[in-house]
Amino acid sequence: MQIFDLEDRGLRALNQTLHDQANDTNQTSWEIINPRGSHAIAVGLDAPIEVKIKGSTGYYCGGMNKQADILVEGSVGPGVAENMMSGTVVIEGDASQYAGATGRGGLLVIKGNASSRCGISMKGINIVVHGNIGHMSAFMAQSGNLVVLGDAGDALGDSLYEAQLFVRGTVKSLGADCVKKEMRAEHIALLQNLLDMAGADASPKEFTRYGSARQLYHFDIDNTGAY
């Protein structure tokens, strides 16, 4: 394992070192110590490496991740795994606003709670939150899956496209064009797989599925009040 002391060597050196790892690197396991809430740790990675961060981080940790498996032993600030492409990002604590925003692939796991706007404009990412999520989560979510083992705040799925939302707890309110949907066998199978990957001990039969009513895809003068 390669150990990198962020306090001693600095953020620029850390990210450059991780960016320099090629697909055939033999330095596949990294441990980052003394993160001290720094922003933009392990962003833009594009190699099949494992990165463990020993502590909490600031903004945009793991942003634009591709291939790498990132574990944060703490909590994260806004924008964790923003625009993620593939790989995994696992947060052992809580996440601040817009976790997984615009994510296009991969798996984001938050073992604590997520704040507002979790999964906004998601475009293929899978997000599993073991706790609760805040208001306006999955706003304009286009594709992918958001799984919440706890409760969801106001305006869940506002202006939703084709992403699927699975919530085990209560939903304070649904956003415009987001409706409760039938839970069929293929959804049970999909959800079970996501729960297994995220290490979540829950039955898919305890969840409610939400999706788009598909009334806001095109502008309609009769729907002006909903826009």
Q: What is the overall mean pLDDT for the chain?
A: 95
Instruction: List, for residues 99-124, the tens digit of each pLDDT value.
Output: 999 999 999 999 999 999 999 999 99
Burial of 51 per CB tally in 10 Å (0-12, 13-18, 19+):
buried
pLDDT bin (cut points 50, 70, 90) of residue 215 is: confident
Least Cα distance to 216 among 208, 205, 227 occurs for 227
Helix residue spans in 20-54 (DSSP H): none
Cβ(159)–Cβ(174) below 8 Å: no
N- to C-terminal Cα separation, the chain:
52
Residue positions counted in the chain: 227
CATH code for the part of the protein at 2-214: 2.160.20.60
Domain segments of the chain as ranges: 2-214
- Mean pLDDT of the region 187-216: 96
Side chain identity, residue 135? H
pLDDT of residue 227: 57
Instruction: List, for residues 110-166, the tens digit of each pLDDT value.
Output: 999 999 999 999 999 999 999 999 999 999 999 999 999 999 999 999 999 999 999
Distances 213 to 143, 145, 179, 181, 221 between C-alpha atoms, Å: 14, 16, 6, 9, 17
Residues 6+ apart with CB under 8 A from 14: 4, 6, 32, 41, 42
Least Cα distance to 101 among 115, 116, 128, 81 occurs for 81
